[in-house]
Structure 1
Amino acid sequence: MQQKQNCGLPLLRNGSISRITKITCGLLFCLTTGVFAAGENAELLTSNRIVNAAPDQAGKTVTITVRDDMGPVVGANVVVKGTTNGNISDMNGLVVLDHVSNNAVLVVSYIGYVTQEIKVGNQKSINVNLVEDSQALAEVVVVGYGTLDKKQVTSAVTSLSDKDLTVGVSGSDISTALQGKIGGLVMINNGDPNASTTFQLRGMTSVKAGKSPLIVIDGFPGGDIRSLNQNDIKSIDVLKDASAGAIYGTRAASGVILITTKNGANTDGKVRMTYNTELRKRQSFGKPEMLSASEYVEHGCGIDYGDDVDWWDELLEKGNFSQKHNLTLEAGTDKAQIYTSFFYEDNEGISINNSRKDYGGRMNTSFKMFDDWLEIRANVDYRQADRNNNYPNFQQALRNNPTRSPYDPESETGLNVWTNESLDYNVVADARLSTYNGLDKWFKPEATFKLNVKAIPGLSLQQVLGYENRQWEYHYFRSKNHRDEINNSRKGYAKLEFNKTEYLTSEGFATYIKELNGGHSLNVVGGYSYFERNGESFSEENYDFPVDGVKYWNIGSGTYLSDGKAGMNSKKEITERLFSIFARANYSYQDKYMLMASIRHEGSSKFAEDNRWANFWALSAGWRISNEEFMKDIKWVDDLKVRFGYGVTGNNDFGADYTANTLSSDADWMLPNGLWAKSYGKSKNLNLQLGWEEKKEWDVGLDYSLFDNRLYGKFDYYRRKIDNMLYEIKVPQPPYTQGNMWKNIGSMESKGWEFEVGGEIIRTKDFSWSSNLNLSHNTAKVLTMSGDNTYLSASGFPSPGNPGDAHRLEAGTTIGSFYIYKFAGFDDDGNFLLYNKNGEIIPADQKVEQDRRYMGNYMPKVILGWNHTLTYKEWDLGINLRSWLDFDVYNTIDMYFGIQGVDNCNVLKDAYGKFNNIRGEKQQCDYYLEDGSFLKIDAITLGYTLPLRKYTKFVDNLRVYGTVHNVATITGYRGINPEVNVSGWEGGIDWFSGIYPQVRTYTLGIQVKF
């Protein structure tokens, strides 16, 4: 065939141009869509109807409207299956086809979208809503060292796409966008823009070693979730049980969170650009109700200085305003794709002196070479966070005398600085007269080389190399006018710190995927993994500077250096290394019977040579009942699968310097010549018997999808046991140089369940409503410790009253219990009465330690997340709710500020109301235990998407949305926030120290796609 001149008619979709080529034999072919028109003089007109496509045939005319979530789709391919009768959609997304029979099937396709097949039937007008390939991601699950079809997964895995993340709730990291989305995952963050997030999946997995899930970003283990930008995330897969995580070995004891970032797409060479901005305002709410100035004076609480001050209000940054800007560019062909993003975020907290500025960028590229024999993926990520974390002590705002002003216009600084009063000081001045600047940096280049061995179909070899450099710089200065400096007769204080940590990852593995005759399929992976961590740090500090203004930038000018009192420190951390070989095999027969086995042989440098290596393995199986012959007539069951898995993982998440002799100086000695000398000695006790902490877990699960996939979900029940627990115990001195040593002693077990149900409640042409509910439950107990009558204590309360520790861990302990005294009432003078160990009522001052008992529990019986998405034409509404049910919170706000008589310090209004009868010293008892159950409206997002492609060829759509985060909390709890820390065995306490205000956030977001 001879190809003639191009006809010159362009087809536009998102600005891309497809040429129409005319063939002399009479076939008209669109190079992009593959639509043919037959006939000796075939022509494609500017209309969306084919003329002279074929001789007249029996049938009818059908109008098809093709849309996506942005509006009409231009250039979509619509063809009658098995024929050449088809066309592409016009600027309004319309296609008109003639001669279409009732039993015809339409095939609708477009690059980047899922191909759909639609039966015509009696319809003459058909609406088609295209779904992006990224939304089909739920059908492919990322697992250890590869991916699997969702139908072949035999372990407990939860998968989210980027569209499942809540927008407009940006905090210190992406965790706020995940709240309530993953059953069994608890995330604790107090709302401070600089705070880190505590993660716990399926309850506590260790006493002292690490308890957070392993973060794997783009296949590289050990990632930092704080380094991620939400706009770059493509998917998140959470491996919950040991059968899923065992292939990651020692770092998977607390689960695995696999995060995949965007990697570009085949855009036919066109550059796609997206710009996002979010403008955010924070509002404080729910502060404790303290005595006003007039009430303070009325009750004779302290000296009347004549002012009227709301100290809490003075610490708030009412003019806070945050903004975020993100620009992404992506382009690609079938052989080369690139994704780049750049962002800047100015994040101001609700408190004075509390903010951070982030900026960074990411470039993800992928290339196919040598007829697809070689694939190369290269990623580079950089992020920098400039932190001001010098926010004041809100505990002091509760305590301060409300008649005393923080300001003094007569002073040099304009601030009222008073000294030598430990319980009452100017917390505003402390914050204003000191400077904190911290700088975080992440730099991560990564490369993946994949060789597709075409001579053996299904075989590929992959090598990944990753490097990460994390740096932390800390600058702190305290003015000569600061309270601490005046109290100590100094003229200022400065400190500088620098910390650098480097991570190196090298992994190589072979993958073999084969579909065999008879419905057998095989997915096998085997390889090695090497990880190395190195760190170093130094710091210096000095006092007594000639001027304030230079701050920490002339630290050598302080007189403490010449006097020999300045501080200097440096450290080189012990190198941590992990090496392992691993293998995984997945087998499926007709997608009905599935098996998985994995093993990892791993060695860690943290352990002594004889205990360095261990094996971690897993087995799991699945049975898809819905594929059985006896289910074929049950049409309302789309998918029904049962799963069972068992796995063993390890834990070595503690310092790397417990198997190496480390020396440090602990004293200065004056020599006869008048010079000072350092003494050195062992700083750690070595335990050459120290070995792996192991978690053994089994999980049984059920996955279901019903009623044409309108109702779907899963259920899991699991039990786990942790052996050879790692924690420090006391040892005698001598023979040991230090009083503590790490050992493997004791065991713990936990069990729980998770239930998820989701559905498309309403699905019509213009309106849809989908909802997803997840519930989880977990309990844990300690089986054994280092021996009889041994225990660990924690959560010590400050004096006065010598309250002691609120938690104790010993054999038989249920995790989450409080170890406190039982309240028995008050005597006639308002003093606490308690029960002793024999159940007798005694005055509180007669109590002994043995009178304590285990009471209450801070682990919620049920943790719930409930998410709703509603759409009406171009409008969308998201509502996210969370709830913790039936758990106890210890209210230290009431305990420390609810009793009258603290000299010159403020108290709660309730001290002269609800607690008016209390006169004696506070007691650590269940009087202050409260039910913390709550229902939180976590976020509401309303958005509108305006399709612009039909008005301009440059812009696809404009989306505007508004989000209110932390909308409301419905609870009977009286303290500040019932959502206390419940991770680990020291939680459940609403501390009065370290308070950060509750924050409601209002966000306006704008997104433009080009």
Structure 2
Amino acid sequence: MKKKGAGSVFKTDQLSKKLLLIMKLTTLLLTVFCLHVSAHTYSQEKISLKMKTVELKKVLQAIEKSSDYRFLFDEVLVKGKPKVSVEVENADINQVLSLVLSNTGLGYQILNTNLVVLKETGSQQELKEVTVSGKVTASTGEPLAGVSVTLNNSTIGTTTNADGTYSLTVPDDAVLIFSSVGYTTTEEKVSGRPVINIVLQPATQTMNEVVVVGYGTQRKRDLTGSVSSIKGDEVSKMPATNPIASLQGKVPGLTISNTGRAGAAPVVRIRGINSTNSASPVYVVDGILHDNIDFLNPADIETIDILRDPSSIAIYGLRGANGVIAITSKKAARGQTRINLQSSVGIQTVQHKIALTDAAGFRKLYTAQLANLNAAPFDYTNYTANTNWQDLVLQDAVITTHNLSVSNNSEKTTTYLNIGYTNQEGVLKYDQFERYLVRLNEEIRISKNIKVGGDISGYHYKNNPPAASITNALWAAPIVPVQADANTYYSMPSFQRAQVGNPIAALNRNNRSSIENGFRVIGSLFAEVKFLKSFTWKSVVYTDLSFFTGRSFNRLPYRFINLGEGTAATTTTVDNSIRTSVSQEQSESRRYQQDHTLSYDKRIGNGHTINAVAGVTTIYNRSSFVNGFRRDTSVNVPDNPDFWYLGVINVNNPISNGGGGGESAIAGGFARVSYTYKGKYLLNATIRRDGSSKFAPENRWGTFGSVGAGWVVSDEDFFKNVKGIDFLKIRGAWGLTGNANGFADDLWRPGIQNASTAIFGDNIYTSIQAAYIPDPKLRWETVRGLDVGFDIRALDNRLNTEFTFYDRTTTDILTGVTLPNETRSYFTNLGKITNRGVELTAGWNDRIGKDLTYGVSANVSYNMNVVNSIGNNFNFTITGNGGVNRTNTGQSIGYFYGYTQTGIYQSTADLAKQPAFVTSLPGDIAYLDRNGDGVLNDNDRGYIGTPFPPYSYGGSLSLGYKGLDFQIEMQGAAGHSIYTQRRTSTFATLNFEANRLNAWTAPGTSNIEPIMDNTRGNNFLMSTYYLEPGDYLRIRLLQIGYTFNESALSKVGIKKARVFLSGQNVATWSRVTGYSPEPLIGSILGGGADNGAYPVPSVYSLGINVTF
């Protein structure tokens, strides 16, 4: 990490101030521009035209462009008419049309709305105007706002208001077209009717939906890769502090591991792990790149698009190698002023607790263990309690969420404001997280072709982290009582006192002893200009500022009672020399990003469509932190947060300080071209050139790109007679992306670190050493990806299926290795990893009768991860978690390495029949002789499982009947293992889990559980005995809701109201004995270890959603 002095900090601050000044000036200019809004009314206009020998339709189009008149006609009327010539100067419409239509056999009629209707001259029909009004609703009765109502074969139209109403003046024989995203387009003949009410049915196909791709959007039917889209309504159904948690089981290839800790973000992986350094995707929120989205309100999301294939992610350059999650936030809908309130309250409870022995079971097992050791029995006289420590540290916890949004959309401005509040208690006592969110979005349409705007989000959280580890409660002996009074607790028995403390004493001592406050401000400004019909220029500047402060206080210890073993109880008082201490931490990070793009969208000739974008982007990051610790040797700091500052304690007392910081930069240029011919032949190509400060100048730049192609077979003439299939597309993509995520800056040049300290006299001296061995030839990791598949819609678009095969290989993986006779790491480009898999999604949507709708969906994915090599000339083995995990050639990354249990040695005769260690005895675990040499040793260890699930799946069922709705979602994973590390301690006698009640005691008593003897080291070797199959299936969501009748609500000024009752994680089928079967995939090289992982709770919620 590059160190910077004060001078550089000053320069960066000056840059920040200049940027802030630019933002202020831009905002001022935008405000001035938006004041220049003028009204435009119809008037009698003079028309000037000069056209020679052109088609009649082109003349009519030219009149439309130069005036306020609009033409309505049947294409058949103008087709084949003689070409016309016209030259007029400042003529009125009647003069112009008389000349243009003189030899065509056509007449015209001008209606009061400046609509010109063409008709045959022989027609005696006199057209009349009629003002049509009405209301557009969904099949549920809910009014639909923003529905497009247009006159057929014309550009004349309007949109429905917030209450679904519309009004439009048209010819009395016109045909109206009603269309809206997500609904089936409906045509309706006017036939002179003044009132036309329309009910739109949900569209059963989504091929025309728009999804986010790099620096733009694209119709889903035109995609050549794999992009899954999730609506914001699906995200906000679950009360959660992080919106990504709600995607679990919805998207194939997306693996999410949640944690129940209050406010914690889930671990996310897309299509496996590509590198030993980083596997997390990048988040793109309204164009700005983020490493996390803790600032984002789930209720503030319009859509989430998961980009997985090369043609979608290559344009993001080095940041997109692990996949991209693109999020579009809500904006105000056209023609609407709306206030929305969402509120929910839920109870979190630990559904599955770890099965431990009670006092009787503990005494039975510990007595047996002492007997096996030929040790004296333990005196339980004073230990008569039966304490369930697990129940005492866990609690039913409350989570509340409240969100208020206000949106307004006038002719020239769009405003959206959202305010959110979340308060979540953890299921481990005293764990609490509180969050405040606010976001303001503003868009100003200066003219038809120019718009400007901005977005600002504020985020503040307060966190009281868990006061103690839950592991203590799992290990503490149940025979010990809790406490004698508020300040006096009972200590553990002598056989575990050094390793395990009283869990409740630790919990209470650390309760609210830490205060963490985070602040984050994200702002953006943009300007967009459309010109020459097909071009759009857009410039955006972003700022992301984060600040963190933390303070902690180490309280005085409590008094403890030692119950004694065969002796009287004694009380241990607090040592008067012990003093309180204070720690303080502060950090900040700043990110500045700017994007400038030029896009081109053009339909050429008969069926050719080109969409292109080119641009440049820069990202600058700077971060710093300081921390300190002090303890007064003479007085105690008061137990009051107002005094938890380093300055309260004299500097002459024991002190330690730390700090650091760094900066990095990325610059890049990119381009994408998408071409379609008649909507059935698709071609997509991207290129990106990135430079990163993480590499030496000669290796700093890399060029990457992708190509993709698609064929909509169902649009071919030969496919027209195929029954049952409505849409069929075959697609494929290949791409090359770079990766520089997950490793430190400046590894290509020397760095220093503290080595050791020494005391000479009254002074302390610190030595430094090289932190690592630099490699100036470090270069990008390179990811090559292939993605092929097909999309099918069948049976009147009720059935939809998507299938994808992918193959992705990362080379030049940056790896830290230790060379012979060296203690420092040497970072260089070594290694190759391949992820190969398939993804399948299927869904069915239909209705029964008029009122009952239903939908069924399912998805499944498989990913195979293989480390092809680590080094070209020799292969390293990378270990994790003390050697439990390994990464080497020929296996999956971070796999479990150890012995395979074959049973329990039942007798000495049994020992003689099969391979065993020299020290093995009856009752010990029997292991597989992997190499068949008749001897058990280190060579018999090998692959015994993976912490990363190769299979993942999900499914859902939804029902709707009038105002009622019901939904159930399920998800799961298979093929992975969980390492029960919490059971492996050999240094103390901990509380036993219930499985040990089946321990071997004599021949034939058990062939799984070894003897009760914590001195037999062979039973503590890493083996399949400590692994559990992680396969599981879970009911992720169960929800029932009711939407109230609109007519009843309108009487009290409410547009829409829905109440719901939901349950999350309500049932799980699994053989995992821990709190949750979800894969523990946070660590790449040492994943899968359950050492008392935080419980993932069930959540039962009641909520309401009201729109005014």
Gaps of at least 5 residues in structure 2 are: 1-40, 44-70, 73-108, 114-124, 368-377, 561-572, 908-921
1:416 CA drift (Å): 4.0
Distance 2:356 2:598 in 1: 65
1:572 aligns with 2:635: no
Partner of 1:29 in structure 2? none
1:296 aligns with 2:362: yes
1:396 aligns with 2:465: no
Partner of 1:1001 in structure 2? 1099
Give the letter aligned to residue 243 of structure 1: S
Partner of 1:607 in structure 2? 695
Gaps of at least 5 residues in structure 1 are: 1-20, 24-33, 43-53, 797-803
Partner of 1:272 in structure 2? 338
Distance 1:87 1:904 in 2: 77
1:145 aligns with 2:223: no
Deviations 1:179-232 (A, max 9, x none): 11111011112211232321110011101x221111111011225222110111
What SS does structure 2 have at the residue aligned with 1:285?
coil
Partner of 2:782 in structure 1? 694
Q: Identify the match of residue 195 of structure 1 among 251, 264, 286.
A: 264
TM-score (norm 2): 0.77
Distance 1:298 1:964 in 2: 40
What SS does structure 1 have at the residue aligned with 2:996?
helix
Partner of 1:3 in structure 2? none
Q: Where does 1:7-86 land on structure 2 (aligned, <5 Å)?
A: 66-67=137-138, 69=140, 71=142
1:334 CA drift (Å): 3.6
My pick for the range that moved more, 383-392 or 552-561, is 552-561
Give the letter aligned to residue 882 of structure 1: Q
Distance 1:729 1:664 in 2: 18
My pick for the range that moved more, 126-135 or 550-559, is 126-135
1:954 aligns with 2:1065: no
Distance 2:162 2:305 in 1: 38
What SS does structure 2 have at the residue aligned with 1:989?
coil
1:748 CA drift (Å): 1.4
Deviations 1:598-621 (A, max 9, x none): 111111000111111110111111
Structure 1's 520 and 978: CA in aligned 2 closer, same or farther, altered over 3 A?
Answer: same
Q: Identify the match of residue 230 of structure 1 among 298, 301, 304.
A: 298
Partner of 1:332 in structure 2? 409
Structure 1's 861 and 601: CA in aligned 2 closer, same or farther, altered over 3 A?
Answer: closer
Give the letter aligned to residue 931 of structure 1: P
Q: Identify the match of residue 550 of structure 2 among 474, 477, 481.
A: 474
Alignment check: 8 A CA contact 1:200 1:983 kept:
no
Structure 1's 607 and 74: CA in aligned 2 closer, same or farther, altered over 3 A?
Answer: closer
Partner of 1:550 in structure 2? 640
1:933 aligns with 2:933: no
Alignment check: 8 A CA contact 2:520 2:546 kept:
yes
Alignment check: 8 A CA contact 1:265 1:333 kept:
no
What SS does structure 1 have at the residue aligned with 2:274?
coil
1:154 CA drift (Å): 1.1
Q: Where does 1:297-312 land on structure 2 (aligned, <5 Å)?
A: 297-300=363-366, 303=380, 304-312=382-390
Distance 1:416 1:679 in 2: 44
Structure 1's 786 and 113: CA in aligned 2 closer, same or farther, altered over 3 A?
Answer: closer
Structure 1's 144 and 932: CA in aligned 2 closer, same or farther, altered over 3 A?
Answer: same
My pick for the range that moved more, 756-765 or 603-612, is 756-765
Structure 1's 338 and 914: CA in aligned 2 closer, same or farther, altered over 3 A?
Answer: farther
Partner of 2:36 in structure 1? none
Structure 1's 483 and 872: CA in aligned 2 closer, same or farther, altered over 3 A?
Answer: farther
Cα RMSD, aligned residues only: 4.0
Alignment check: 8 A CA contact 1:138 1:161 kept:
no
Structure 1's 39 and 249: CA in aligned 2 closer, same or farther, altered over 3 A?
Answer: closer
1:556 CA drift (Å): 4.3
Give the letter aligned to residue 862 of structure 1: Y
Partner of 2:509 in structure 1? 433
1:308 CA drift (Å): 2.1
Give the letter aligned to residue 776 of structure 1: S
1:781 aligns with 2:848: no
Give the letter aligned to residue 1006 of structure 1: I
Partner of 2:312 in structure 1? 244
What SS does structure 2 have at the residue aligned with 1:521?
strand
Distance 1:910 1:148 in 2: 55
Partner of 1:362 in structure 2? 439
Alignment check: 8 A CA contact 1:243 1:648 kept:
no
Deviations 1:312-358 (A, max 9, x none): 0110133x322111100000124210111001111111110211000
Deviations 1:754-795 (A, max 9, x none): 111112143542110012211111001111112566433434
Alignment check: 8 A CA contact 1:134 1:161 kept:
no
Q: Where does 1:379-390 land on structure 2 (aligned, <5 Å)?
A: 379-390=455-466
1:770 aligns with 2:855: yes
Structure 1's 132 and 441: CA in aligned 2 closer, same or farther, altered over 3 A?
Answer: farther
Distance 2:843 2:547 in 1: 43
Distance 1:449 1:483 in 2: 66
Distance 2:788 2:199 in 1: 37
Partner of 2:117 in structure 1? none
Alignment check: 8 A CA contact 1:732 1:739 kept:
no
Distance 2:331 2:157 in 1: 32
Give the letter aligned to residue 638 of structure 1: D
What SS does structure 2 have at the residue aligned with 1:227?
coil
Q: Identify the match of residue 863 of structure 1 among 947, 952, 969.
A: 952
My pick for the range that moved more, 236-245 or 69-78, is 69-78
1:474 CA drift (Å): 1.7
Distance 1:192 1:41 in 2: 66
Distance 2:166 2:1099 in 1: 45
1:670 CA drift (Å): 4.4
Alignment check: 8 A CA contact 1:949 1:957 kept:
no
Deviations 1:88-109 (A, max 9, x none): 9999989999xx99x9966346
My pick for the range that moved more, 214-223 or 815-824, is 815-824
Give the letter aligned to residue 274 of structure 1: N
Structure 1's 446 and 641: CA in aligned 2 closer, same or farther, altered over 3 A?
Answer: same
Alignment check: 8 A CA contact 1:824 1:841 kept:
no
What SS does structure 1 have at the residue aligned with 2:1044?
strand
Give the letter aligned to residue 639 of structure 2: G
Q: Where does 1:109-148 land on structure 2 (aligned, <5 Å)?
A: 116-118=185-187, 128-130=198-200, 139-148=209-218
1:677 CA drift (Å): 4.0
Distance 2:294 2:343 in 1: 20
Partner of 1:874 in structure 2? 963
Partner of 2:738 in structure 1? 650
Distance 1:924 1:372 in 2: 69
Give the letter aligned to residue 877 of structure 2: L
Structure 1's 77 and 911: CA in aligned 2 closer, same or farther, altered over 3 A?
Answer: closer
Give the letter aligned to residue 553 of structure 1: F
Partner of 2:228 in structure 1? 158
Q: Identify the match of residue 458 of structure 1 among 534, 543, 552.
A: 534
TM-score (norm 1): 0.84
Structure 1's 266 and 397: CA in aligned 2 closer, same or farther, altered over 3 A?
Answer: same
Alignment check: 8 A CA contact 1:936 1:970 kept:
yes
Partner of 2:811 in structure 1? 723
What SS does structure 1 have at the residue aligned with 2:883?
strand
Count of aligned residue pairs for this structure pair: 930
Structure 1's 779 and 904: CA in aligned 2 closer, same or farther, altered over 3 A?
Answer: closer
How many percent of aligned residue pairs carry the same amino acid?
25
Q: Identify the match of residue 923 of structure 2 among 812, 824, 830.
A: 830
Q: Identify the match of residue 263 of structure 1 among 331, 353, 363.
A: 331
Partner of 2:371 in structure 1? none
Distance 1:701 1:74 in 2: 36
